[in-house]
Amino acid sequence: MARLLTYLLLPLSWLYAGVLAGRNWLYDRGWKPSAAFETVPVLSVGNLRVGGTGKTPHVAWLVAWLRARGQQPALLSRGYGRRTRGYRRATAADTAATIGDEPLQQFRQFGGAVPVVVSEDRVAGIGRLLLQEPAVTAVVLDDAYQHRRVRPAFNILLTEQQRPFYQDFVLPAGRLRESRAGAQRADVVIVTKCDPALSAAARTTITENVRRYARPEVPVLFSCYDYGPPVPAAGPAAGAAPGPEVVVLTGIAQPGPLLEHLAAAGYRVAAHHRYPDHHAFTPAEIGALAAQLRPGQVVLTTQKDAARLREPALAASVADLPVFYIPITVRFLAAGDTRLAALLNPYFPPHAVV
């Protein structure tokens, strides 16, 4: 049935893809303006597919790499899901409602040491950021692959191993934001959420499939997730430790890898309260979860979801809930981190280090 529906929707996908192809053609030929920034490198991290490719942890890896090299990066996002508009620099007083859950997570992850800015107009946002933050030596654009008004110095394209762009279709028949040909703009393609034991032969096959659409010389790298121990996030979780039976709360696009990790780590998931990506939790939803929680059980969630659980409107609802989040970090396979660093190094020569 799903395959039949895909075929029925293909004419609409072709129409949508055609409109986007025309838009990209105008940008490629300079008939629509695209701004480049010469003073600092602009690094873009994005995807062709709607949601769930692992942008946030890869952005965190990139920011950490830049800081380790002595750079002062800044993050710029449109702030998806926020209830504000315009340019806004994240502060300790912000919430997911004011800047979006992912920018809030990034701001807290780096302890405020990395400027995090949200702006729908990324051209104006970068310009204002560079004026207000003269120490910034690199700007990382989060989820800006289709934002052609900015011409990044380096374009990172992410695609999942289990849902690669080369097997998908453009909306509404599939989940692609534009056609597979969009991979031509990538300077590197990272295949994410890989099986850590992915064989060399499998990597070769995936690389060949990617290069049917990307430029032939573009490197194809592979990454997986490493999961850390549960971190107290809310309620009476501090000083406690999760038992073997847990309740999972997610509002992300792809919770499957998290559930697989929990099963492998020996947790038994008594219930999974699953919501759409970027879902704004309500007191009623948290109350329903609390009513199902039995003695000895704790709530496990993601770091991004934990950011939304800290909304002031939810303070009373989560006050008595033992909530932990599972941190994730990116690990590259087959020395992919070394290869990516070699691609990025020319943009940050030693004399530019501050």
pLDDT in tens, 284-331: 999 999 999 998 899 999 999 999 998 999 988 888 889 999 999 999
Start-to-end CA distance of the chain, whole Å, equals 58
Starting at the edge strand found earlier in the chain, the sheet holding 88-89 runs 88-89, 116-118, 73-77, 138-142, 42-47, 154-160, 188-192, 220-227, 328-332
At 352 the pLDDT is 44
Dihedral sign of CA atoms 157, 330, 114, 107 in order:
positive
Q: Are 223 and 331 in contact (CB under 8 A)?
A: yes
248 with 295, same domain: the answer is yes
At 237 the pLDDT is 64
83 with 148, same domain: the answer is yes
Give the count of domains, the chain.
2
179 with 269, same domain: the answer is no
321 with 344, same domain: the answer is no
- Across-strand partners of 325? 231, 301
202 with 257, same domain: the answer is no
Question: Would you list the DSSP string of 65-131?
Answer: HHHHTT--EEEEE--TT-S--S-EE--TT--HHHH-HHHHHHHHHTTT-S-EEE-SSHHHHHHHHHH
Q: Are 185 and 145 in contact (CB under 8 A)?
A: yes
Percent above pLDDT 90 for the chain? 83
282 with 265, same domain: the answer is yes
22 with 113, same domain: the answer is yes
Report the SS3 class of residue 311. Answer: coil
293 with 336, same domain: the answer is no
139 with 216, same domain: the answer is yes
pLDDT class of 207 with cuts at 50, 70, 90: very high
137 with 252, same domain: the answer is no
Higher-pLDDT residue of 319 and 154 is 154
pLDDT of 60-86, one tens digit each? Answer: 999 999 999 999 999 999 998 899 999
219 with 313, same domain: the answer is no
Q: Report the DSSP pairing between strands 298-302 and 323-326.
A: parallel
14 with 116, same domain: the answer is yes
Starting at the edge strand found earlier in the chain, the sheet holding 323-326 runs 231-234, 323-326, 298-302, 245-250, 268-274
Residue 58: which CATH number? 3.40.50.300
Residue 254: which CATH number? 3.40.50
Task: Give the span between the Cα atoms of 157 and 220, in whole angstroms.
Answer: 10
Task: Please report, for residues 16, 71, 235, 338, the alpha-carbon distance to residue 66 in angstroms, rounded to integers and kept in the order given.
Answer: 37, 5, 34, 13
Q: What residues make up the domain containing 180?
A: 2-225+331-352
